[in-house]
Structure 1
Amino acid sequence: MNAKKVWFVTGASKGLGLALVKKLLENDYYVAATSRDKLALEKAVNYLGNNFLPLEVDLINEESVTNGLAAAVEKFGKIDMVVNNAGYGQAGTLEELSDEESRENFDVNVFGVLHVIRKVMPYLRENKAGHIINISSVGGFMGNFPSFGVYCATKYALVGLTEALAAEVGSLGIHATVVYPGYFRTNFLDNGSFKLPKNPIAVYTEARKLEEMHVNEIRGNQTGNPDKAADVFIAISKQEKPPLHLFLGSDSYQFAKQKIEIVTKELNANEKLATSTDY
């Protein structure tokens, strides 16, 4: 075994996860990667060497996650880097989406991540080292997108739990990073990765316009390059003090600056009210 780090990447059969896995294997890293469909993962990665372990894992099933991580450690001896990339976009206004649609999005986007964190931490604690990267979205920092409230809520949740995780595990030699990607040219807006509401309500015209824009205009024209995103992930894995927050893509960076300006303006405008409630 060489000194290269061992990576565990979820949602690796497409999107940023697939780009990262391919780049890691090109650079001779050891990679365990998960998908709901192992054959699709193997076909997408198209790698026959011994550095790659494809795993069929159901992230909302704790036993499946446990078995996947154990298989990775059995093959490679350890896990250094964890990238929680799996997730999907759920469109629909808060009124339109059923409880089932909303909970399913949280199950995959949030509780799937929690399952991985919970089950991988014993390995990282034993090694007194490791780095967990949770893929949120710029929609986890700025949520004023009609039809994306539930999806944004799942991504906001990842921010909160990553910040807490960093505070909990920092003294154990373990790092945590939350990544806020903007629009990257992946299949995220394709069927299977992007779901429309089952029971749309016609009056929500702003929501329909934004959904149509994502499907008909943004899809295929995203500014972000997944291969360059993979380079960034590898770069922060080499940093002694990796960032807790990482905005990824020029659009994400600009959205973040806009949000900070809005919040700063409202803080200043309401300072007297905000500070008037102390004893």
Structure 2
Amino acid sequence: MNSSKVIFVTGAGRGLGTDIAREALAAGHQVVATGRRPEEVERTLGGPRDNLLVTKLDITSPDDAEAAAHAAVDHFGRIDVLINNAGNFFAGYFEEITPEQMRQQIDTNLFGPMNVTRAVLPVMRKQRAGHVITLSSSAGLIGQEFCVAYAASKFGVEGWMESLRYDVEPYGIHTTVVEPGFFRTELLVDGSTIWPEPTIDDYAERTTATIAAWKSMNGRQTGDPAKLARALLTIAGQDKPLLRFIAGADAIEGVRAKAEELLAQAEASRELGDDLGYDDTVPAGS
């Protein structure tokens, strides 16, 4: 990035959000680092400084989002880049995830970044410039076992961000949706991941084995979150930023396979699906 920007980061108290904030500060940017517990964010990032504003933000609260956006503008005068990073993971098979848990998952991972973006967009429209970067997941493009709630929320993020582009492009605002594969963040730690309790006999053995397998991956993921953070800052500095950034070799290969599968399904649908329109040459009533 060629010049200093004001970068607003959600979920900056730990995991990838911390890496993004640290890398942005090291690169000379002004950072609005937000989290549900601002004291933890301050402790993690090393206390107050001229180019850092730490402020409270529970992304599920529209009031918090409005207050954080106002605090950012009051302190730095503008917001150039919003990085929607905060989220969580309700793991489990569909029948063992309660309706309340499903709503919580979507409230955090989909409506949460919507709340923050809704608060920040008026600032960016007034500036006639800005960039909204939202962390999705490869699970936002590829359905996976044990991920129905998470994938549902991230598939929603994909549709929202892909469509938001057309809403805000006329005002000089860019959008990027990011699909990381497996990175060594804190997503799989207890507190970011909500593990299910086996409640249905048919699923019990699979649930127990799958939880053990997922937990065994924590701390062993191949992706380096600091490198991902630097890549996001590079995208934020592009004149024509990527609309979609697929992050990590595992994600790239997975998305390529999914694209090929979609093309194959489109072709397989052609015989039944190609000729479903009205035949206006047939006289009415015949």
TM-score (norm 2): 0.93
Match of 2:244 in 1: 245
Q: Which runs of 5+ in 1 are unaligned?
A: none
Partner deviation per Cα, 1:106-128 (whole Å, 9 max, x = no partner): 11111111111111111000000
TM-fit CA distance, 1:59: 1.3
Q: Distance in 1 between matches of 2:268 and 2:102?
A: 35
Give 1:159's aligned amino acid. Answer: E
Q: Distance in 2 between matches of 1:266 and 1:207?
A: 30
Match of 1:36 in 2: 36
Q: Distance in 2 between matches of 1:200 and 1:249?
A: 35
> Is contact 1:97–1:198 with CA below 8 Å preserved after alignment?
no
Match of 1:27 in 2: 27
TM-score (norm 1): 0.95
Match of 2:127 in 1: 127
Match of 2:265 in 1: 266
Q: Aligned to 1:184, what secondary structure does the other structure show?
A: coil
Match of 1:104 in 2: 104
Q: Distance in 2 between matches of 1:151 and 1:96?
A: 14
Match of 1:84 in 2: 84
Listed as ranges, the matches of 1:168-207 within 5 Å are 168-204=167-203, 205-207=205-207
Match of 1:149 in 2: 148
1:95 aligned to 2:95?
A: yes
TM-fit CA distance, 1:198: 4.0
Give 1:102's aligned amino acid. Answer: M
Q: Distance in 2 between matches of 1:164 and 1:268?
A: 25
Partner deviation per Cα, 1:96-142 (whole Å, 9 max, x = no partner): 11111111111111111111111111100000000000100000000
Go from structure 1 to structure 2 and tell me whether the alpha carbon gap of 1:67 and 1:43 turns closer, same or farther (over 3 Å shift).
same
How many residue pairs were aligned? 276
Match of 1:68 in 2: 68
Q: Aligned to 2:230, what secondary structure does the other structure show?
A: helix
Q: Distance in 2 between matches of 1:178 and 1:26?
A: 24
Give 2:160's aligned amino acid. Answer: L
Q: Aligned to 2:94, what secondary structure does the other structure show?
A: coil
Match of 1:116 in 2: 116
TM-fit CA distance, 1:261: 1.4
TM-fit CA distance, 1:267: 1.5
Give 1:86's aligned amino acid. Answer: A
Q: Which runs of 5+ in 2 are unaligned?
A: 279-286
Provide the alpha-carbon RMSD of the alignment: 1.4
Q: Which moved more, 1:13-22 or 1:266-275?
A: 266-275
